Amino acid sequence: MLGEKVVAFTGKTTGQRVLPSVDGPRVETTNELTGELGGVPATWLATYNAMVRPDGSLYGECPDQGLIMTADGIGTWKGAAVGCFTDDAGSVRFRGAVYLVHVPPKLAELAKVALVFEYDQDGDGAATLNFWEWK
């Protein structure tokens, strides 16, 4: 069951690079977002890679390249999503799920659920990220 909204992060893309690929175009993106996760002020760092699939949609994943930083510690997360370009200016939208792997103590309860998300980024790199608990 989809539960409470637990976070609203905002931030920006801080870097991109094209990755070698045999299965289609692939880009690595790093972003930094800030907000509150479960009521705890936090910084969300991600380096994910996304590939353009044959139908033009996107598949992205962050395999062990995500950090969550709070005043009481640093944690790690992993996740995956599907998405699409939303305009010709490079805006993208992803929908997916994230799993907290190692967590700062105040976020321990969130490591017991899947976090489903909506990620939207405009062509200038400004991004929003919203999470809901999936119990």
pLDDT, residue 65, reads 86
Q: What is the dihedral of CA 117, 121, 125, 130, to 10 degrees?
A: -30
| pTM of structure | 0.91
The arithmetic mean of pLDDT across residues 93-100, rounded, is 97
The arithmetic mean of pLDDT across residues 28-40, rounded, is 94
Of 43, 79, 42, nearest to 61 by C-alpha is 79
- How large a percentage of the chain has pLDDT more than 90? 82
* Amino acid symbol at 2: L
Residues 55-69 as b or e (16 or more Cβ within 10 Å = b): eeebbbebeebbbbb
- How large a percentage of the chain has pLDDT more than 70? 99
| pLDDT tens readout for residues 108-129 | 999 999 999 999 999 999 999 9
- Structural domain total, the chain: 1
Segments forming the whole domain that contains residue 51: 2-134
Query: Higher-confidence residue: 130 or 89?
Result: 130
Give Cβ neighbours of residue 99 (< 8 Å, ≥ 6 apart).
Answer: 77, 78, 79, 111, 114, 115
| Token code pair at residue 10 | 């905002």
pLDDT, residue 23, reads 83
Residue 81's domain is classified under what CATH number? 2.40.160.20
| Token code pair at residue 111 | 């490591």
